[in-house]
Amino acid sequence: MGVLLVWEISGLGQNHERLMMNERELKQSDGGGDSANTDVRAPQAILETVVYCESLAAARDFYEQVVGLSVVSVEPGRHVFFRVGRGMLLVFNASETETGNVCIGDQLIPRHGSHGPAHFAFEILPRQVDAVRENLTSHQVVIEAEIEWPGGGHSIYCRDPAGNSVEFATRQLWFD
């Protein structure tokens, strides 16, 4: 399972078609193989996705017990980090990361934080859609929406304990 970051954009149909076209062009230009970006300036993937939550214990329970992620690091009151395929989901307490100082050697990590609900998506396989729905329901997690996208792909939306919008989406949402 990898992390797929989905941006909320207007005109989804038109932008979705443009992304699908760009994906096909990349495959054709590199011989049909991996669609990794060949521009040396451009990132190859999303490495970390960050959300903020005041109750890290509730977030840990949700992402570990409900979603099934493995915990990589915990600093009580500050963060809990999870492995998601080849990426990471970082859950921070914004009151700690906006004001605290953390150094690695002599380098200060930049302060950060956000308030209000965020949105991100986990990538799932088409064959996982039913299992994800059943798992969320069995944990009494409310499914806010389930969408079969006109251009392809399927999404299931719910909320984590901090109110962040968590989407489980098939890759076909953005790529064929």
Domain map (residue ranges) of the chain: 3-7+46-173
What's the pLDDT tens digit per position in 4-13?
333 332 333 4
Write down the pLDDT at residue 5.
37
Average model confidence (pLDDT) across the chain? 84
Categorize the per-residue pLDDT at 31 as very low, low, confident or very high, splitting at 50, 70 and 90: very low
Averaged pLDDT, 34-57: 86
CA–CA dist 111, 94 (Å, integer) = 9
Helical (H) or strand (E) element with 58? helix 56-61
Question: Percent of the chain scored above 90 by pLDDT?
Answer: 71
3-state secondary structure of 83: strand
Q: What CATH number does the domain located at 3-7+46-173 have?
A: 3.10.180.10
Exposure of 20 in the CB half-sphere (CA atoms within 13 A): 15
Q: How far is CA 102 from CA 51, 60, 110, 113, in A?
A: 18, 22, 8, 14
Q: Is the pLDDT of residue 88 over 90?
A: yes
Write down the pLDDT at residue 35.
54
